Chain A
Amino acid sequence: MIQAFDRLIHHLLVAVDESENSRRAVSYVAKLLEGMPSFKVMLLHIINEPEEDFFADDGERERWMAEKQETAERVLDEAMTVLVGEGFEPERVFPLIKVRYCPSIAECILHEAEASQSETIVVGRKGVSHKEEFLFGSVSNRIVHEAKDCTVWVVE
């Protein structure tokens, strides 16, 4: 459960996954802020749940979910270690795993940012190719375009 944020504290949401660009984003936040006590960090990992018949049966679904859950926990543990290693108090870092069907990952991140009243969103940018962005879209670009009432840091 997310704790209600103290208004005097600046709240960051860092969107993480298993990618290298996500690691860079966490590392950047850790090194830049060096555990400043006026910051709280939510580490958000979204598991984008596939449509129900992506799986042949319930067993396959459960195995898929267990694997994604394990990956998400590992990613969050690593991110937490990086932040704490640079001076963040563990109680100022809030790992969160959200399992949901996301028509758009960016929209899901923006929704969580709004729900947690985060003032800053931090995302890594993969540096997708022109045609890759055309075919699949870009999470960081969409967040930059659609975020409201908050700051966005895009870490390359």
Chain B
Amino acid sequence: MQDPLTDEKIAQMAAERLPASTPLGRIHRDTSDFFKVEYGDVAVLGRRAFLVGHNAKEGRFGVDDEVKHWVKRCIDLHDGSRKIVKLVFHEKFKASIANLSFDCFRSPKKEARILDLVADHGHFMHGYWVRDDAGNVVRIIDYIYGKTLHAMINELSLDHEIYYHERLPQILQKYIQCVEAIAFLHRHHEKHGDIRRDHILIDRETGHYRWIDFDFNYMHRENMFAYDLFGLGNIFMFIIGKGDVLLGDLKQGRPEVLDRLTQNDLNIVFHNRVANLKKVYPYICEPLNRISLHFSRGAEIFYQDTRQLLADLNEACHAFGQGDP
């Protein structure tokens, strides 16, 4: 069957979207060399043409944004919709957390599988995947308008106690939906792989918290979901604490709190963060704080799966709603 997307047709479609001063670049049907896919080019993927804009960037909590050359902001030339097009980047590296290293890799096929799996799930990014002419598994993601959870919480200018009583109940409910979404993945034997608070986007249209970026993968050891649980715990403590509660900040602003803290009160992995948040904010209810303590150095029992975490979250939320101490 003849490809109806001739170069002439593509040029015509692109001309309608490009500024008059910008000539059409190259047309790519093989995206293997993603560095060559540049601004003003067109990528032809699955019988659709995408006008390539800038590379996507990803911030790292205050560090300068990192350009992701394999992730392109695009416009679908057939309907004008904004898309994120993720090209194949075979990257393998050793990640290191608290002096523990493990093998990581980018996994386009994993992300493609999950896109299929979550097509009808409201708490994930949506999209589809196609193979380009070279067989690369390219993912075409619907653009989500909205802030990250990280940005939303950091931008709140509220006293913690007011935040705790007025905003946290709703945020916690949304967080539980996020944990349920990860539980859904785990039930289907998939891990998210890169659970961070800037990988939750708050959809401006629906208000849903939505997980993004599932292409990160790693060689797990015994518990393939433990690293996801670690990420969920960090986000939980970030939400409860209205940001990371750092020893350095306490030393500056509330040095008297340091006298109450012991090594066991700190985050099990990041020893500069407080996990026993009740010692910093005494009005935090016990059931919520107990969850946090599962991620502390003093923890004797760890969550083995999302089911256990969810059970505690639901119980804690109920107690929180009742105003229990």
Residues of A within 8 A of B (CB): 48, 50-54, 56, 103-106, 130-139, 142
Contact = CB atoms under 8 A, between A and B. Distances in A.
A134 B269 contact: yes
B26 interface: no
Query: Which of B100, B222, B226, B299 is most buried by chain A, counting CB atoms within 10 A of its CB?
Result: B222
Interface in B92-112: 92, 97-98, 100, 102, 105, 107-110
Contact of A105 (B108, B222, B297): B222
Interface residues of B, number: 27
A104 to B, nearest CB: 6
Contact of B302 (A50, A53, A134): A134
A142 B222 CA distance: 8
A71 to B, nearest CB: 15
Interface in B207-221: 217, 219-221
B226 A52 contact: no
Contact of B90 (A56, A134, A142): A56
Contacts of B227: 135-136
B252 interface: no
Given A53-B110, A105-B221, A135-B100, 12 more contacts: A48-B219, A53-B107, A54-B105, A104-B224, A130-B297, A130-B299, A134-B230, A134-B268, A135-B226, A135-B227, A136-B223, A137-B221
Nearest to B298: A130
A51 B191 CA distance: 12
Interface string B228-247: 00100000000000000000
B189 interface: yes
A100 to B, nearest CB: 14
A112 to B, nearest CB: 16
A52 B100 CA distance: 24
Contact of A136 (B102, B105, B110): B102
Contacts of B230: 134-135
A106 B268 CA distance: 24
A53 B109 contact: yes
Contacts of B108: 53
- Chain A to chain B: the 6 pairs with minimum beta-carbon distance, closest first: A137-B223, A137-B222, A136-B221, A56-B90, A53-B109, A139-B222
Interface in B79-138: 90, 92, 97-98, 100, 102, 105, 107-110
